[in-house]
Amino acid sequence: MVKIAVMVSGGGTNLQALIDAERRGELKNGELSAVISSNADAYALKRANRAFIPSYVLCRRDYASTDAYGAALAEMLGQLGIGLVVLAGFMTVLPPDFCRRFEGRIINIHPSLIPSFCGPGFYGLRVHEAALTKGVKVTGATVHFVSEVVDGGAIILQKAVEILPGDTPERLQKRVMQEAEWKLLPRAVSLFCEGKLQISGGTVRILD
């Protein structure tokens, strides 16, 4: 069994999708073992408690530097025996040292079709605002491995979502979550835990 830590900062609907998938037996060879929040008030912590998943709060501002924060996080993950780190709405950028140490073992969900509308500054509603401003007809979500480059790691899964007339950033955000994020993330986590993701030359091959 791969022990999974889910890192959160806010509402935690993606965490909930993972909890629901685990209950349905859809996280094959994976176990949600810890929820780590960068924010003590995150609603995601309530979801973790309701699902009896041990939760921890690790705030960036309690550490002198990003590196010190990364070191504390790495220490915690090591002690818990975590094999996969899932960033699910985690709002703190992790330091390069941390990303290198956990290379190939951290995945992130981003609410656009990378390489569109991603990188520094593209988070939350801003991603959907940018998609609507550009007038793209299709957007979506991406699950990818995390590298030192923000939203730049190897892509695991993507799903397209159509832009509809009358979409606002809020409506689009909700539809991207419902139609793409909540389906993609559990699938990607399960594939990882089953050992079906192979990274080579910066791209991911999904093994049957």
- Examine residue 37 and tell whether it contacts ligand GRF (CB under 6 A): no
Q: Is 128 one of the catalytic residues?
A: no
CB of 200 to ligand GRF, least distance (A): 26
| Vertex 94 angle, CA 44 and 82, to 5° | 65
Sheet of 106-110, strand order: 55-57, 30-37, 2-8, 84-87, 106-110, 138-145, 155-162
Q: Which stretch binds ligand GRF (CB under 6 A): 12-20, 59-67, 153-161, 199-207?
A: 12-20
Asked if residue 11 binds ligand GRF (CB under 6 A), the reply is yes
Q: Which string of x and - marks every residue 122-161 that binds ligand GRF (by CB under 6 A)?
A: ----------------------------------------
Q: d(Cα 118, Cα 46) in Å, to the nearest integer?
A: 29
CB 5 within 8 A of CB 98: no
Distance, CA of 138 to CA of 123 (rounded, Å): 18
Which one of 47, 110, 128, 144 is the catalytic residue? 110
Alpha-carbon gap, residue 45 to 42, rounded angstroms: 6
Is residue 30 a contact point for ligand GRF (CB under 6 A)?
A: no
Residue nearest to ligand GRF (CB): 89
Residues forming the site for ligand GRF (CB under 6 A): 10-14, 44, 88-89, 109-111, 177, 181
Catalytic residues: 110
